[in-house]
Structure 1
Amino acid sequence: MAELFDSYAADVEQLHRSIASHIASARNASPESRQKALREAQENVSEANELLGQMDIEVQGFPQSVRGRYATQLRELRTQIEGDHRDIRSLYSSGTPDGDTDVATPTGDAYAQRQRLLQGSATLEDGSRRLQESHRIALETEDIGAGILRDLQGQREQIEHSRDTQQVVRIAIVVVLVLLILIILYAKIF
């Protein structure tokens, strides 16, 4: 699991560098180039957010002992990408360096709908992952319960066997004592 998380983290770091490069080039570009650079940066942000969603799913599957370390790394990456997204939005809202603000912004209905779809998709994936994890835990619990029942059955048989053995030992002791008494009586009488 950690290898997959680290792979996602490396991909997000690479996307962060790519976003930073697009933002830097958008700051000094012509309106057409600026719009293209910001669009590519926004696509990278969307891709990074999808990877962050996958990383969040991976973190939920980690043992409690290491989950905190990976959750911290995930928060740091998420903060970087959110900062990139804020930079992109500020560049969209500020317009071009010469004051032309006709650059199309991704903040319209289509962008909001895309974000809702991405968020819904991530929620659905998270729900599916949790359902699969719950199913796996239920199966493991069932296996553990069956194992406990087998152990209890074995212990019950041991207890019953030891009880039967004790009964035989008691009867044998009584028989030996009765025989000894009879032998002693026989020896005293004859």
Structure 2
Amino acid sequence: MDTSPTALFDSYEQDFKQIIQSIRTKLEGDAQDAQGEQRKAALRRVEMELDEADEMVSQMEIEIQGIPQSLRPSYQTRIKASKADLQRFKKLSKEQHAQLSRAELLSRPGLAGGTSDEPYGATSDRTRLLAGTALLEDGSRRLQDSQRIALETEEQGADILRSLRGQREQIQNARDTLQRADTSIDRASGTLKKMIRRMYQQRFVTGAIIAVLVLLILIILWAKLWR
């Protein structure tokens, strides 16, 4: 298992590229060539994959905080390139949504053609204009909702990133504290070892003194008794 500081970033970037390739295939294939419900389904899948790609970019922004400063500039450039690709495909997706809305408008019964002698009949210009305006307003409202959701998601991602950065700093502070405690324990252990060594030395000296004193007492007693 790769435990380098860039391993997770590289993994998220690889997932992002795979998702972008899938989006490109759909936008240039089914979402462009298909019609009706098949095209709608393709565009819905594109929207889901765009959300996944957006999540991958957020994860890359989180992981770059743990990359060493000497390596970070090149990875920041890669994030900018990923964001540019994501925005380009988001724009292309919106354009195809708009094309689909226009196609649906033109394919509605009574809106694709026909004439009427009545100025305000069902197929009159006024009716087509009102229907087109309503459809465009609905599309605009959906785009605004999507933009709002994207902004809320971005804000939530930024909050999560700030929270993770704070937790990272706490972990680093705790690690520094543990390192200082470990150093203090090593010093205390060294001091205790020195004290124990000195204690044994003192016991040895004391024992030697006692032995000498006993020997002197024995010599004095021997001298008193035998002389």
Q: Normalised by the size of structure 2, how large is the TM-score?
A: 0.57
CA RMSD of aligned residues (A): 2.8
Displacement after TM superposition at 1:117 (Å):
3.4
Picking from 50, 56, 71, the partner of 1:45 is 50
CA distance in 1, matches of 2:70, 2:178: 24
CA distance in 2, matches of 1:58, 1:71: 11
Moved more, 49-58 or 125-134: 125-134
CA distance in 2, matches of 1:114, 1:63: 33
- Greater gyration radius: 2
Answer yes or no: is 1:81 the counterpart of 2:86. yes
Check whether the contact 1:31–1:96 (CA below 8 A) recurs between aligned residues: no
Whichever residue aligns with residue 135 of structure 1, its letter is: Q
Displacement after TM superposition at 1:21 (Å):
1.4
Alpha-carbon displacement from aligned partner over 1:16-64 (angstroms, at most 9, x marks no partner): 0111112112111213222221111111111111110011010111110
2:155 paired residue number: 120
CA distance in 2, matches of 1:32, 1:108: 23
Aligned-residue identity in percent: 25
Unpaired runs of at least 5, structure 2 = 107-134, 189-227
Answer yes or no: is 1:22 the counterpart of 2:26. yes
Answer yes or no: is 1:32 the counterpart of 2:37. yes
Q: Normalised by the size of structure 1, how large is the TM-score?
A: 0.67
* DSSP-derived class of the 2:71 partner: helix
CA distance in 1, matches of 2:101, 2:150: 25
Check whether the contact 1:38–1:88 (CA below 8 A) recurs between aligned residues: yes
1:2 paired residue number: 6
Displacement after TM superposition at 1:92 (Å):
1.5
